[in-house]
């Protein structure tokens, strides 16, 4: 069996495992390990092949995951949980409700912009969805919103954490393709804000002309609105520390994240956080971090197997040989991501596909920072599309009174919003590249 045939066979097995519902971390780790066994057994015999594969399985996860930049992941996640357990999230939502509640679907619009604000201090979409399922859904239901819309808004709003810095997925993308973490984090800011505005427009349109119950909330005075702003200051202080230090080159991404976490910890303690709340924040951070690193470790074995059989290079050559404009080829790749995202979680999908897809896309002449934002935006789709849709399952888990099917239905309009956003970013790439270009000049 040739190397490419071997790679195609084990990749097909991996896809079958994923479709059967096996976790990506374990499916990729098993396929990668046995792929390495077969590959080396063909070259040096079965016994030596097994020994080499075992040695790689023992060393690859450590050697490839000790990147300094990966320390950003627990830091960003910790910031989000500290903000929640310190009560800052509820104050952020309260301010958004008072300023935006007068619009059609105003509570839902407020939830979107509150999740955007929380995303700016939390790098994890799952954490964002879980937090606002507790904070926003009860208030929307109390105002007469349908369960479907309330749950869908929270699930979709959580996806904003994949783009708005600090973003865990952008950090992982940067490490996989060896691009600047700082530039990618800065590049995600404007597209993330654009996504929030497009989500808001979709909500207003559906609230005004749709059948979902989404009444406006009125009666807040200007004094109440301005009085709600001081409670949001700690969030914006942390945002300024992280984004400002990255943009002006005052700190590395890891330093900026650590400083943001430290400042928020001091604020949380000053606001009355005690050991039980701090313990919960640390435990939840540890659990989510372990989940992410487990996925990384499992997929790394599969990626190493792909490198040995030469599948990434073969795919790149195949893409380069297609007699179509680069834009057509790019759109076909993005459509493949949309389908694949229905069966895989965002992090696992990027880890599995980028070693193969990235060289091919770079061969088409696209900017690596711009493509990173586009592909991460595509990864957002898998967070709200069935059957995997992790954010939808998180919302349903926090709110067992809302069936997961209803959450998926509520998130459907936001799939359309994401398609519109991706179209805008493709048509106007400067939305992505402008801020990183300024950052480069300053540095």
Percent of the chain residues topping a pLDDT of 90: 30
Distances (CA, A) of 114 to 18, 318, 408, 419: 34, 44, 21, 22
Tell me whether residue 365 is in a domain. Answer: no
Q: What is the mean pLDDT of the chain?
A: 86
Tokens of 155: 């699930």
Tell me whether residue 121 is in a domain. Answer: yes
Tokens of 147: 């369960």
pTM over 0.75: yes
Structural domain harbouring 95: 69-293+377-442
Please report, for the chain, how many H helices and E strands are present, in that order. 23, 0
Tell me whether residue 163 is in a domain. Answer: yes
Q: How far apart are CA 225 and CA 154, in angstroms?
A: 23
**Helix locations, 159-220, DSSP H:** 168-177, 181-187, 189-209
Which DSSP state fits 162?
G
What would the mean pLDDT of 241-260 be, rounded to a whole number?
86
Burial class from Cβ neighbours inside 10 Å (0-12, 13-18, 19+) for residue 323 reads: exposed
Phi, psi of 256 (to 5 degrees): -65, -45
Tell me whether residue 357 is in a domain. Answer: no
136 has pLDDT over 50: yes
State the DSSP H helix or E strand holding residue 116, giving kind and residue range, or none if neither. Answer: helix 106-119
CB 100 within 8 A of CB 109: yes
Tell me whether residue 155 is in a domain. Answer: yes
Tokens of 348: 């696992």
Contacts of 320 (CB under 8 A, 6+ apart): 360, 363, 364
Query: What confidence score (pLDDT) does residue 212 get?
Result: 64
Which DSSP state fits 243?
I
Nearest CA to 389 out of 81, 134, 152 is that of: 152
What are the tens digits of pLDDT across the range 138-169?
Answer: 999 998 898 999 999 999 999 998 888 888 88
* Cα-Cα-Cα-Cα dihedral sign, residues 84, 88, 91, 95: negative
What are the tens digits of pLDDT across the range 68-91?
Answer: 777 888 888 888 888 888 888 889
442 has pLDDT over 50: no
What are the tens digits of pLDDT across the range 167-210?
Answer: 888 988 988 888 888 899 999 999 999 999 999 999 998 888 87
Tell me whether residue 282 is in a domain. Answer: yes
CB 368 within 8 A of CB 177: yes
What are the tens digits of pLDDT across the range 265-324?
Answer: 998 888 888 888 899 889 988 888 888 888 888 888 888 888 888 877 787 777 777 778
What would the mean pLDDT of 104-125 be, rounded to a whole number?
89
Tell me whether residue 207 is in a domain. Answer: yes
Percent of the chain residues topping a pLDDT of 70: 98
Domain count, the chain: 1
Tell me whether residue 309 is in a domain. Answer: no
CB 83 within 8 A of CB 261: no
Angle between helices 404-427 and 189-209 (to 10 degrees): 120
Give the SS3 label for residue 214.
coil
């Amino acid at each position: 069996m040739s190397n490419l045939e071997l790679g195609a066979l084990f990749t097909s097995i991996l896809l079958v495992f994923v479709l059967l519902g096996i976790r990506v971390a374990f499916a990729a780790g098993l396929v990668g390990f046995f792929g390495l066994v077969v590959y080396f057994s063909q070259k040096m015999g079965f016994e030596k092949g097994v020994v080499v594969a075992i040695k790689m399985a023992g060393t690859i996860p450590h050697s490839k995951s000790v990147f300094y930049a990966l320390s950003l992941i627990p830091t960003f996640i910790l910031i989000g949980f500290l903000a929640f357990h310190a009560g800052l999230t509820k104050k952020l939502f309260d301010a958004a409700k008072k300023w935006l509640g007068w619009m059609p679907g105003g509570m839902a619009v407020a939830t979107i912009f509150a999740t955007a604000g929380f995303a700016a201090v939390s790098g994890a979409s799952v954490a964002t969805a879980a937090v606002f399922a507790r904070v926003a859904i009860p208030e929307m239901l109390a105002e007469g919103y349908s369960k479907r819309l309330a749950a869908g808004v929270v699930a979709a709003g959580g996806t904003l954490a994949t783009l708005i810095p600090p973003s865990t997925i952008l950090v992982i993308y940067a490490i996989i393709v060896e691009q600047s973490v700082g530039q990618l984090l800065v590049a995600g800011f404007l597209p993330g804000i654009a996504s929030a505005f497009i989500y808001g427009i979709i909500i207003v349109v559906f609230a005004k002309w749709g059948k979902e119950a989404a009444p406006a909330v009125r009666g807040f005075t200007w004094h109440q609105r301005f009085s709600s702003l001081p409670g949001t200051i700690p969030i914006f202080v942390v945002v300024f520390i992280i984004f400002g230090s990255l943009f002006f080159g005052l700190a590395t991404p890891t330093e900026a994240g650590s400083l943001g976490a430290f400042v928020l910890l001091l604020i949380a303690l000053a606001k009355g956080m005690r050991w039980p709340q701090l313990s919960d924040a640390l435990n939840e951070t540890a659990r989510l971090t372990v989940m992410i690193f487990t996925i990384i470790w499992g997929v790394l074995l599969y990626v190493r197997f792909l490198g040995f059989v030469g599948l990434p290079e073969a795919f790149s050559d195949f893409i380069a040989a297609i007699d179509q404009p680069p834009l057509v080829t790019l759109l076909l790749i993005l459509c493949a991501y949309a389908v694949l995202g229905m069966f895989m979680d965002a992090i696992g999908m990027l880890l599995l596909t980028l070693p193969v897809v990235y060289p091919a896309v770079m061969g088409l002449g696209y900017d690596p920072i711009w493509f990173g934002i586009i592909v991460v935006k595509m990864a957002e789709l898998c967070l709200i599309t069935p059957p995997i849709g992790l954010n939808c399952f998180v919302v349903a888990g926090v709110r067992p009174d809302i069936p997961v099917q209803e959450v998926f239905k509520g998130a459907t309009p936001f799939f359309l919003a994401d398609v519109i956003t991706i179209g805008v970013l493709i048509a106007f790439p400067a939305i992505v590249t402008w801020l990183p270009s300024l950052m480069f000049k300053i540095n």
